[in-house]
Amino acid sequence: MILGRVFQPLRRRRRPLLPQTTFLRRHGALANHPSPYTALPAHRGRRSARAVFDETPHEDAVAYANLIDLHLSCGDLPRAEALFRAAPTAARGLRLDTVMLDGYFKAGRVDHARRLFDGMAVKSVGAWTRMVSGYCRAGRVEEARGLFEVMPARDVVSWTAMLQGYARSGMMREAHGLFDAMPARDFVSWTAMLQGYVRSGMLREARELFDQMPERNVVTWTVMVKAYADHGHFQEAVELFDRMPQRNLYSWNIMISGFFRAGNVDEAVRLFERMPDRNAVSWTTMVTGLAQNGRVLMAREFFDRMPENRDAAAWNAMITAYANNGQMNKARRLFDSMPAKDLVSWSAIIHGYAKNKHKGEVMGLFRLMLRSAVSPDRFTLISVLVTSESTVEVGQIHGLAATRGLLSDTSLGNALLIMYSRSGDLHSAWQVFKMLQEKDPITWTLMMRAFANHGRASYALQAFAQMLQHGYKPSSTTFIAGLVDKGRASRAHCRLSVQGGTL
């Protein structure tokens, strides 16, 4: 009865199920699977998998484990739980328990996993390790260490799981102590330690460990090369790259990107031409790097050389490059010819027109965007705001931001403050100011200038005093400039000295 409730939605079929062997044979499963139980994972659709499951003996742990895992992989934790609870005693055991443990951790249900673990009749080293690893992934490293300490037996996988937990959390002192205490280390242990040092910016320690590693592969070499490149140690990155016994596409792309970040465009081009193979990332890195370094013509040459099915990032890089150089006709032609436009594409072309003061194009494209399947983000709305000339337009964008849940963004709030102040709508500006949960010094200064520029010096002074109470130390020139225009600078100094404020 319970199974019937669990799988009731799966039983609404238009035709009766085929017999088990006929079903498997028709789907080509029996040729590769010695039993119907192992055929279940091959049928990743829950309906076909359930068809096999319905005609197998339900005492089989493998069949239950496979179907539970299928529900978990589809994100259906409630059904997986119900099937787990409905499993007969003969099917229960370590295999089923560990599948459910993994499911709980993947769903973020750490406490559920702990209750299941505590109730397990048999706990293998693998089950203990799953618990340690799960707690670490959830950020509960101290609890993971507590479990690790009471493990009845540990293997190298257990030690490495705890080590990875420390390394991912940036607790490198603890990771180092654990690494030194390990009775045996494998390649994964060494790599976890190396990645931990790199993630924490400890390049000297990372290099020392790298030099001590008993074995290295292309991954560890690339980790070290990327670390040097990311932190601006480009000479060391080149030296290691040249020494690499073998390179993959990722390592080549890392170096090319590093050359571009260092402004060494010619070396990036030479390295690209030396590549034995290239992928979409390689080409996109070239187009983006050239565009960002001002080599727009060369970027277009590489863009035109790209194989078919160009990455959206390459299109967006070219559109942005043309827009930044004021070449909006070329940017628009590229945009219009894009096979699929994403949020970055729309934002890039709208920002380009806004930057080049083409209000009509901005509003026209924005209306097209709203009719498309792409939803604007805060960057798009800011670009549209700066070209708005009336309170009505600003209010419409304000309303759109509210419906999209974007009003908590400080930069968008600041843009709204500027536009409302420019149009003289102090009431709306004040409402935006009050709704902003995170205010930066720019927010406070904009509000004060809005009050001061519209003859509300007393309100500006009150806002200034509140800003001081919140711990911000604004520049005096910004505030006073707004009051000087109204001939109130001396009065501002006097009022602030009485209130204990300092400019």
DSSP per position, 136-160: HHTT-HHHHHHHHHT-S---HHHHH
Q: What is the mean pLDDT of residues 8-20?
A: 42
* CA 72, chain centre distance (Å): 23
487 pLDDT more than 60: no
| More confidently predicted of 69 and 192 | 192
pLDDT of residue 121: 82
**281 within domain boundaries:** no
Q: Is the Cβ–Cβ distance between 175 and 196 less than 8 Å? A: yes
Quickly state the pLDDT bin for 474 (edges 50, 70, 90): low
**7 within domain boundaries:** yes
Closest CA to 374 of 333, 343, 328, 417: 343
Distance of alpha carbon 60 from alpha carbon 231, whole angstroms: 54
pLDDT of residue 91: 63
Q: What is the mean pLDDT of residues 52-69?
A: 61
Quickly state the pLDDT bin for 30 (edges 50, 70, 90): very low
**Mean of the per-residue pLDDT values for the chain?**
82
pLDDT of residue 75: 76
**108 within domain boundaries:** yes
Quickly state the pLDDT bin for 16 (edges 50, 70, 90): very low
**153 within domain boundaries:** no
Distance of alpha carbon 385 from alpha carbon 363, whole angstroms: 10
Domain carrying residue 75: 1-122
**52 within domain boundaries:** yes
User: What would the pLDDT profile of 290-343 be if each residue is shown by its tens digit?
Assistant: 999 999 999 999 999 998 778 899 999 999 999 988 999 999 999 999 999 999
Distance of alpha carbon 196 from alpha carbon 163, whole angstroms: 9
Q: What is the mean pLDDT of residues 44-71?
A: 58
**55 within domain boundaries:** yes
Q: Residue 493 corresponds to which amino acid?
A: H
Alpha helix positions (H), 387-456: 391-403, 410-423, 426-435, 441-453
Give percent above pLDDT 90 in the chain: 50
Find tokens 């199920």 and name the residue: 17
**443 within domain boundaries:** no
Highest mean pLDDT among 9-18, 384-393, 482-491: 384-393
Q: What global pTM score does this model have?
A: 0.66
DSSP state of 245: S
Quickly state the pLDDT bin for 192 (edges 50, 70, 90): very high
User: What would the pLDDT profile of 209-268 be if each residue is shown by its tens digit?
Assistant: 999 999 999 999 999 999 999 898 988 999 999 999 999 999 999 999 999 998 999 999
Domain count, the chain: 1
Q: Is the Cβ–Cβ distance between 166 and 195 less than 8 Å? A: no
20 pLDDT more than 50: no
The pair of structure tokens assigned to 106 is 């993947």
pLDDT of residue 477: 52
**59 within domain boundaries:** yes
Length of the chain: 503
